[in-house]
Amino acid sequence: MTAKGLPVSPTFEELSAYLDDELDSGRTIELDQWLRTHPVAAGELARLRSMEKGLRRLVAESEKQGEQDAQDAIDQESGA
Amino acid sequence: MHSFETELVAAMPQIRRAIQNITRNSEGTEDLLQETLAAAYAMRDRYQPGTNIVGWLVTIARGLHVNQWRKRKRRARMRHLSQTKSLDMVEPASQDGRLLWEDVTDRLSKLNPEAVKAFELVVVEGMRYDEAAKVLRTPVGTIRSRVARVRSAVWKVIFLDIEEDAE
């Protein structure tokens, strides 16, 4: 906290850990407060979070499809 | 007495046929055959002489084939997604809806591979920092800083594009 009781601005590494829910609870509360007063940063963080969520979904879908395709190919070859 | 090598050589015609059945592709057959033999040689201590070496090798070949197929499909799907702009559903990159995915992957390919691995484990696989630290045998603080470094690079790709498009 600053002398005026405001949260200290986070480093990027802290914001990154915040996204990963890896900060301690005290600092997480401070960053929650800081983001409420910094809407641009909050918006960018939300955008990054959204993109990473999409990335996870795409990777999961592609892996699931790849496994299915591979299994189909093996089943086809073995006459199953 | 049958050594591993002797059994392997004797079984080669059957192994080749089995792998041809798996791949349906002569070029792919040779690649898979070589990878299978290399993997089998690396794991030869696990083979019990006199048992079914063909079956053992086919099991290895199938496992390798599934992995190859999975990688190819993943790459193809990522290429397809970037070409068809369907990543727009995740997050539009700019006003004209241009995809950022190629830019992001291009940026990732230029970063420290160990840092990218940490990013993949945490952001894509969903591991906690301490779990990723165990996997990569590195301190938790290093994982935290590596993830942040890669994320920062991704962040710049995303928001730099927005600024440029806004001009």
Q: What share of chain B is helix, strand, coil (3-state, %, to 5)?
A: 80, 0, 20
pLDDT band at B33 (very low <50, low <70, confident <90, very high): confident
Q: Give which of B72, B21, B62 is closest to B40, Cα–Cα.
A: B62
pLDDT greater than 60 at residue B165: no
Predicted pLDDT of residue B70: 65
Q: Residues in chain B whose beta carbon is closer than 8 A to a beta carbon of chain A? A: 21-22, 24, 62, 65-66, 69-74, 77-78, 81, 87, 89-91, 100, 122-124, 126, 128-129, 144-145, 147-148, 151-152, 154-155, 158-159
pLDDT band (50, 70, 90) for residue B21: confident
Nearest Cα residue in chain A from B154: A48
Give me the residue from B22, B100, B158 closest to A74, CB to CB.
B22
In order of B21, B46, B60, B133, B161, the CA distances from B43 in angstroms are: 23, 6, 10, 28, 49
For B48-88, what is each residue's pLDDT tens digit?
A: 888 888 888 888 888 888 777 766 665 655 555 444 433 33
**According to the model, what pLDDT value does residue B94 have?**
37
- Cβ-contact A47, B158 below 8 angstroms: yes
| Comparison of pLDDT for B16 and B139, the residue scoring more | B139
Give A69's contacts in chain B (Cβ within 8 Å): 69, 73
Between residues B13 and A22, the one the model is more confident about: A22
pLDDT confidence of residue A62: 61
- Higher pLDDT among residues A42 and B81, named by residue: A42
Q: What is the pLDDT of residue A7?
A: 66
Q: Residue A12: closest CA among chain B residues belongs to which residue?
A: B148
User: Is B129 in Cβ contact with A77 (below 8 Å)?
Assistant: no
The rounded Cα B95 to chain-centroid distance in angstroms is 33
User: In this predicted structure, what is the pLDDT of residue B87?
Assistant: 37
Task: Round to whole Å and give the CA distance between A34 and B50.
Answer: 69
What is the reported pLDDT for B84? Answer: 42
Cβ contact, residue pair A73, B70, below 8 Å: no
Phi, psi (deg, nearest 5) at residue B52 = -80, 90
Contacts of B80 in chain A (CB under 8 A): none
Range with the poorest average pLDDT among A7-16, A45-54, B52-61: A45-54
Whether the Cβ atoms of residue A22 and residue B140 lie closer than 8 Å to each other: no
A44, A63, A71 ranked by CB distance to B74: nearest: A63
Mean pLDDT value across residues B5-21: 86
Q: What tens digit of pLDDT does each residue of B103-156 get?
A: 666 777 788 888 988 998 898 888 999 999 999 999 999 999 999 999 888 777
Tell me the DSSP string of A35-73.
HHT-HHHHHHHHHHHHHHHHHHHHHHHHHHHHHHHHHHH
Nearest to B143 by CA among B124, B110, B116: B116
The dihedral sign for the CA sequence B30, B36, B40, B42:
positive
The SS3 call for residue B91 is coil
d(CA B155, CA B117): 17
Flag if B78 and A71 touch (Cβ within 8 Å): no
Please give, one letter per residue, the 3-state secondary structure of B24-38.
CCHHHHHHHHHHHHH
Cα–Cα nearest to B141, from A27, A32, A14, A28: A14
